[in-house]
Structure 1
Amino acid sequence: MDEHSILSIALGSVIGGILAMTGAGGGILAVPVLVFGLGLSMNQAAPVGLLAVALAASVGAVLGLKQGVVRYKAAAFISSIGIIAAPVGLHLAQRIPNKPLALVFSLVLVYASIRMLRNASREIRNGGATPRREVLPCVLNPVKGRLRWTLPCARVLALTGFTSGLLSGLLGVGGGFVIIPALSRYTNLEMKSIVATSLAVIALVSIGGVTAAAISGVMYWQAAIPFAAGAVIGLIAGRQLAHKLAVPRLQQAFSIVGIGAAIMLAVSVLGFHA
């Protein structure tokens, strides 16, 4: 095994660990890690990051299914919309020049990081999860323990799936930074169920994007296979540590790293020099 493969595995394990411990964020950090760590372009990094996220999230989703915390019908509905949108994003990504694509990614990363930072800080300040609105589009039936499928609920979940799928194909991200806030805001699911359901959606949508990338011949397999293997290893190891660590603090740390990575990526593509 050469040094490049070892580095790919190591970097992938970091992404998998972040995905396990925060429930989101690992996918969106994968692209900056690939760009700076392995020297890939945005067009090369996006499909590679997507493959890593797909495999790692699949492992997390299977473990969640065994625990009975995945809302599989909601996950299937969201991902069915996302799978349709992902190839559209991939098609756009291959036609947008590297510089503007990297700048768009930087803006999305800053937005996701700031949002997570604010939510984590609010949770720490309140001593727990932020109270939800009394009226929610998607709520569990207290008798059957299943989501009540109404038109507002279907509309919210469909929009979540479309947004996560489009960003998945366009930027090579899993979409957890879209799915988790949406499920937290519009459903009354417990956080462990939200995270597990998010991983299931990420896995299904990412697999759709990976398949499209493989068919179109834009997957950089030399980096993709070891990086994805590392992500799976990192996710399994991260799950062992997640329950021992304070998630809001981890999310704060991720947010700071994410903002820094976004700034570095923007500076590098714009060609600024000290």
Structure 2
Amino acid sequence: MEVIEILGYIGALFIGLVLGLIGGGGSILTVPILVYALSLNPVIATAYSLFVVGTTSLVGAVKNISKGMVDFKTAIIFAIPAFVAVYLTRAYLIPAIPEELFVINGFIVTKNLAIMLFFAMIMLLASVSMIRNKREESTVDTVIDYNYPLIIVEGLVVGTITGIVGAGGGFLIIPALVLLAKLPMKKAVATSLFIIAIKSLIGFLGDVQNLEIDWIFLLSFTAISVVGIFIGIWLNNFIDGKKLKKGFGWFVLLMGVYIIYKEITKQ
């Protein structure tokens, strides 16, 4: 096994570690690790990312359910359009995109390039969300007021983005649950993890019918990530995850810029 591959598996542990420490963000690293460290095709990488993200998030979601932190009504209202969007995106939209999209002055914009550049833009948005991090933790249960049209639209948008880039989209889901459903922050984070878990795994089902899955590799990579979550949860007893979140946001920002640079310069 080459050093870069070993770093890829260490990256899997890091993905879970970040999720366990700060409750999100780790999944945004899955695709870059799979593409650059383990040399997977971006379409395959986004598919595998959905499984890794879905499984690792499910571990956290089960823990939150046992604590009564998941608001199932809100999850269902938000998740149904997201489920539909992510499945249709993976099953039909991604396979329908041509391998070469267009040419600008001899510069060929391929399907893989477009996916990675779009993913980089999502990373930049996620990094800004983590760096700013101005939302206050609410400990008071408020009356939940459902803005159905906006929640449904948000669900469709997040589902489509998740289907394209293979990331959970927690940085989009949590603000939606806080602002549109008026959920307290802690319940929004817990409910988001539940939505991400189910949505990602349903999206992965759209890939099973189109791609040949290397189950031994995928399950091994995912298992390492799950171990990372438990380590991260344990480290939470000694480290304040909130303080790490801003620093991780800057790291994600640099990664997003690096992906844009690498993808454009290799053409």
Give the TM-score band, short-chain normalised: 0.7 to 0.9
Residue type at the aligned position of 1:107 = M
CA shift for structure 1 position 10: 2.6
- Find the aligned partners of 1:169 and 1:44 in 2 and give their Cα distance: 12
2:265 matched to which residue of 1? 271
Does structure 2 retain, via aligned residues, the 8 Å contact 1:5–1:223? no
1:108 matched to which residue of 2? 122
CA shift for structure 1 position 2: 9.6
1:92 matched to which residue of 2? 93
Residue number among 139, 154, 158 corresponding to 1:160 in the alignment: 154
- Find the aligned partners of 1:243 and 1:92 in 2 and give their Cα distance: 43
Residue number among 223, 230, 240 corresponding to 2:224 in the alignment: 230
Bigger Cα displacement from structure 2, 245-254 vs 29-38: 245-254
CA shift for structure 1 position 40: 1.6
Query: Is the partner of 2:239 in helix, strand or coil?
Result: coil
Bigger Cα displacement from structure 2, 21-30 vs 237-246: 237-246
Q: Residue 33 and residue 42 in structure 1: after superposition, are their counterparts in 2 closer, same or farther (change >3 A)?
A: same
Does structure 2 retain, via aligned residues, the 8 Å contact 1:48–1:223? no
- Find the aligned partners of 2:200 and 2:75 in 1 and give their Cα distance: 13
Does structure 2 retain, via aligned residues, the 8 Å contact 1:93–1:171? no
CA shift for structure 1 position 76: 2.3
TM-score by length of 1: 0.82
TM-score by length of 2: 0.84
1:13 matched to which residue of 2? 13
- Find the aligned partners of 2:205 and 2:30 in 1 and give their Cα distance: 18
Q: Which runs of 5+ in 2 are unaligned?
A: 99-110
1:31 matched to which residue of 2? 31
Q: Does 1:200 align with 2:194?
A: yes
CA shift for structure 1 position 65: 0.4
Count matched residues: 251
Residue type at the aligned position of 1:93 = I
Residue type at the aligned position of 1:71 = D
Bigger Cα displacement from structure 2, 199-208 vs 98-107: 98-107
- The Cα offsets for residues 32-77 of structure 1, whole Å up to 9 and x where unpaired, read as 1212221222112101111111100111110000011111221122
Does structure 1 retain, via aligned residues, the 8 Å contact 2:27–2:168? yes
Does structure 2 retain, via aligned residues, the 8 Å contact 1:61–1:200? yes
Q: Which runs of 5+ in 1 are unaligned?
A: 124-128, 132-138, 142-146
- Find the aligned partners of 1:163 and 1:24 in 2 and give their Cα distance: 19
- Find the aligned partners of 2:19 and 2:226 in 1 and give their Cα distance: 10
Does structure 1 retain, via aligned residues, the 8 Å contact 2:71–2:187? yes
